Amino acid sequence: MNRSGRAQGASLLNREDTMHYSRLLASVALGAQLVTASPASLMAETPADTLVQAWSIDDIISLDPAEIFEFTASEIAGNTYETLIGYDPKDVTNIFGKVAESWTISEDGKTISFKIKEGRTFASGNPITAEDAVFSLVRAVKLDKSPAFILTQFGLNAENVDQMVVATGDYSFDFKMDQAYAPTLVLYCLTATVASVVDKKVVMEHEANGDFGYEWLKVNYAGSGPFTIRDWRANEVVVLERNENYAGDKPAMARAIYRHIPETATQRLLLEKGDIDIARNLAAEDIAALKDNPDIKLESGAKGSIYYLGLNQKNEYLSKPQVRQAMKHLVDYQTIADTIMAGKVMVHQAFLPEGFLGALNDNPFSLDVAKAKELLAEAGVPDGFTVTMDTRNTPEITAMGQAIQQTMAEAGVKLELIPGDGGQTLTKYRARNHDIYIGRWGPDYQDPHTNADTFARNPDNSDEAASKPLAWRNAWDIPEMTGKADAAMLEADPAKRAQMYVELQTESQQTSPFVIMFQEIEVSGMRKNVDGFIIGPSFNDNSFAHLTK
């Protein structure tokens, strides 16, 4: 589950664009390494109590948990703030309290009463109380930044939130909603970064013009996690320091530093040299080259992002059901996963990523040109047709696009790739001006509704619609399926709810204009001595609180 809002919208794409210049020549340069013998040169080392990671951190635009929605910032928040509740990254059905001690759900299912753990403090030394928890949620709703909808979807808004989230004691508060939503949905949403508990006293000391300290907090820190944020210099460095007041086990590292290294080959060199402990953005060829290095180990974990093709239903060919079906048989899934992406994705063909409640792990489609031709003939286009695909000009997306172009041509479907910068292709996609869009989608929170909401709901397919989910972007009008997705949102029984999502995915897998292809796997290269780095399903689950080296 990636808080990939803006990351996907903007910066992340560009990070990949920058790398794109150098891809080919970088491999040539590094190929030269094989030729030259490697004398053991003096070894640079990072300080023993400092973790140094190389990562593209240009997606950070704010450090305020009420606004954070990007990969990097989510991870930083996950290690520096505490949410009310959390889940076990290995088994997401195991939900437990972090700041909260326990919770009870009212008879009518519209109120959750939380108890806060007593005797714990923020990094500032202030005690963590119900007042802080209430303030944090109210603040996020009132600030109304991009991730606020994760909370406001339960019927909260700036006007009513003071009545909906109320302290009932020093260490207890009520969270009220407008409907009896599935408890799993509400709880998962409260594990999101936007529900982090901030230090009310510290934040309000920096309030200006009724901004709830937003101007200050977006570049500062007021939390209670294992680390504190000492310094953020955009596109340069983020420095975290051990929180001496942390209530849990104190981290072994006194400092954790992110260095902004945009170029993947550079990250690899730094890692090989020992100037960093962990390289976070490695390209397929870097991973291949590091596999045999005795000083380096590779660790990976499945992430929530999904790669898919969106087929615009405004296109006369793509709107035919058999054509949609044929397209799903014209992608060589396994080959792309094994070669182009080399271990950074796995084949996955349903809209809920593996690891989510109710995820469907069937992969019914594989490259089958004969079958696709049959379907095209049924649809009345036996000789195929010509369509365009807007393709982000990053090396990986471009390579995928070219592979798909080839296999589609085998059935007579002429795919013209229109390369474009990330912002460009996305702007076009959002306006429904594409034929086919090759995209990547990360869930906003750990609950299945986040993806169902966008892949299987389209309340209003008109051009003026208020909400514009992915189904809308591809002009897929699905009143019935929207109803089913809404029902799943309210189902209280987790097992029944999971079953509803499986059904939704099974249906959508066959009929939808989405050719869902892969689920992302995050791969990090680290020095052999690094131990205990946790790669979770979402970036705020990535943890180095118990890392040693």
Partner 1 sequence: MTTLTQNRGRRGALWLRRAVGLLATVAATFFGLLLVTFLIGRIVPVDPVLAVVGDRAPQSVYDKVFHELGLDRPLWEQFWMWLQKVATGDFGTSFLTKKPIVEDIRRVFPATLELATVSIIIGTLVGVPAGVWAAVRQGRWADQLVRVLGLVGYSAPIFWLGLLGLLIFYAKLGVVAGPGRIDIAYEYSFTPETGLYLWDTARQGAWDAFGNAFSHIILPASLLGYFSMAYISRMTRSFMLAELGQEYIVTARVKGVPEWRIVWVHALRNAAVPLVTVIALSYAGLLEGSVLTETVFAWPGLGQYLTNSLQNADMNAVLGGTLVIGAIFVGLNLLSDLLYSMLDARVRRGS
**428 belongs to the binding site for partner 1 (CB under 8 A):** yes
321 binds partner 1 (CB under 8 A): no
The stretch near partner 1 (CB under 8 A) out of 78-86, 365-373, 409-417, 463-471 is 463-471
Task: Count CB atoms within 10 A of the CB of residue 304.
Answer: 29
Strands 386-392 and 172-176: unpaired
Task: By CB under 8 A, name the one of 115, 117, 206, 218 that touches partner 1.
Answer: 218
Binder of partner 1 out of 110, 259, 371, 546 (CB under 8 A): 259
Report d(CA 165, CA 269) in Å as an integer. Answer: 50
Question: Per rule CB under 8 A, is residue 222 in the interface with partner 1?
Answer: no
Q: Which residue has the tokens 């509400």?
A: 186
Amino acid at 276: I
> How near is the Cβ of 314 to partner 1 at its closest, in Å?
19
Binding to partner 1 in span 511-540, by CB under 8 A: none
26 interacts with partner 1 by CB under 8 A: yes
Short-list 187, 1, 5, 218, CA closest to 98: 187
33 is a contact residue toward partner 1 (CB under 8 A): yes
Pairing of strands 386-392, 436-441: parallel
x-or-dash string of contact with partner 1, 147-166, rule CB under 8 A = xxx-----------------
CB 100, min distance to partner 1, A: 26
Contacts of 431 (CB under 8 A, 6+ apart): none
Q: What is the DSSP string of 348-388?
A: --SSSPTTSTT----------HHHHHHHHHHTT-TT--EEE
Nearer to partner 1, 58 or 541 (CB): 58
Among 161, 167, 247, 261, binds partner 1 (CB under 8 A): 261
Residues in 121-150 at the binding interface with partner 1, rule: CB under 8 A: 144-149
Contacts of 200 (CB under 8 A, 6+ apart): 131, 132, 135, 136
CA 398/CA 109 separation, integer angstroms: 48
Q: Show the site string, 262-301: x = touches partner 1 by CB under 8 A, - = not.
A: xx-xx--xx-xx-x--------------------------
Query: How many residues bind to partner 1 according to rule CB under 8 A?
Result: 74
Instruction: Decide: 258 and 71 in contact? Cβ < 8 Å.
Output: no
Return d(Cα 301, Cα 293) in angstroms, integer. Answer: 20
Query: Is 208 near partner 1 (CB under 8 A)?
Result: no
E strand or H helix that includes residue 270: helix 264-273
Select the span of 2-10, 161-169, 191-199, 325-333 touching partner 1 (CB under 8 A). Answer: 2-10
**Which stretch in 77-85, 99-107, 420-428, 493-501 sits in contact with partner 1 by CB under 8 A?**
420-428
Residue 474's Cβ-count burial label (10 Å; 0-12, 13-18, 19+) is buried
Minimum distance from CB of 381 to partner 1 (Å)?
A: 30
Element (H, E) at 82: none
Q: Which stretch binds partner 1 (CB under 8 A): 45-53, 183-191, 511-519, 540-548?
A: 45-53
Q: If binding is defined by CB under 8 A, does position 388 make contact with partner 1?
A: no
Question: Is 175 or 445 the residue whose CB approaches partner 1 more closely?
Answer: 445
* Measured distance CA(440)–CA(412) in Å, rounded: 26
For residue 339, the Cα-to-chain-centroid distance in whole angstroms is 23
Select from 101, 299, 354, 421 the one that contacts partner 1 (CB under 8 A): 421
Min CB(455)–partner 1 separation in Å: 14
11 binds partner 1 (CB under 8 A): yes
Check binding of 49 to partner 1 (CB under 8 A). no
3 state DSSP class of 320: coil
Stretch that binds partner 1, among 7-15, 116-124, 192-200, 356-364 (CB under 8 A): 7-15
Helix (H, G, I), strand (E, B) or coil at 159: coil
- Which tokens belong to 529? 């001595």
CB of 297 to partner 1, least distance (A): 19
The residue within the footprint of partner 1, chosen from 424, 461, 506, 548 (CB under 8 A), is 424
Structure tokens at 206: 């920096």
Structure tokens at 357: 């409640």
